[in-house]
Amino acid sequence: MSDVRKEEPKREGPKEGPGPEIVGVWPAAVWIVVGAGHYLNDPDHFAGWKGALYFVLGTGLVALVGGIASLSARRTVAGIQERLLKEVRHRRDWASWWVALGLRGLIGLGEAVLVTLLALWAVALLG
C-alpha cells in the first residue's frame, strides 16, 4: 500500500508591507540626522573621540535596539489590527488599509520623537 497524503495549503500570516522589513533603518537615520545637525552647528563639539562615539557606536546601538523595539511594536499593532479586523469584517478593504497606514505612521512618529530625545540627551552628555 502506498502512503499518499494530501498536502495542506500553507497558511501565511498577515503581511505588513510589500517586502521584507528593514530593521533599524528609521531609528538610525533619525539618530544620524540629529547628529549631523549638531555637527553642522558646532563641528568642534564632535572632534575626536566624541564624534566617533556618537556616530559609530551610537548609530549601531540605536539601529539594534531601536530596530528590535520598532519591529516588536509593528508586529504587535499588526496582530491587534488583524484580530479586530476579523471581529468586525472578514476581509481587508480600503478603510482597513488606511487604518493600517495611519497606525504605522503613528509608530514611526513615536520612534522619531524618542530617538530624537535620546540623541539630544547623548549630545548634551558628550558636551
CA distances, 75 to each of 40, 43, 72, 87, 92 (Å): 36, 39, 5, 19, 17
What predicted TM-score, i.e. pTM, was given to this entire model?
0.71
Is the CB of residue 95 less than 8 Å from the CB of residue 88?
A: no
The pLDDT value recorded for residue 13 is 47
Dist CA 75 CA 69 (whole Å): 10
Q: In the predicted model, what is the mean pLDDT of the chain?
A: 79
Domain ranges of the chain: 25-126
CA distances, 25 to each of 15, 29, 66, 70, 93 (Å): 19, 6, 9, 10, 29
Mean pLDDT across the stretch 4-28? 59
- Spell out the residues 6+ positions from residue 18 whose beta carbon is closer than 8 angstroms to its own: none
Q: Please give the angle made by the CA atoms of 15, 20 and 26, to the nearest 5 degrees.
A: 110
Mean pLDDT across the stretch 41-52? 85
Q: Percentage of residues in the chain with pLDDT exceeding 70?
A: 79
The pLDDT value recorded for residue 120 is 92
Summarize pLDDT for 64-122 with one digit per residue, the tens.
888 888 888 888 888 888 887 777 766 667 877 888 888 888 888 988 999 999 999 99
The pLDDT value recorded for residue 90 is 65
- Spell out the residues 6+ positions from residue 46 whose beta carbon is closer than 8 angstroms to its own: 35, 38, 39, 54, 55
Region of residue 112 (phi > 0: left; psi between -120 and 50: alpha; otherwise: beta): alpha
Specify which of 32-36, 39-43, 101-105, 123-127 reaches the highest per-range mean pLDDT.
32-36
Is the CB of residue 62 less than 8 Å from the CB of residue 118?
A: yes
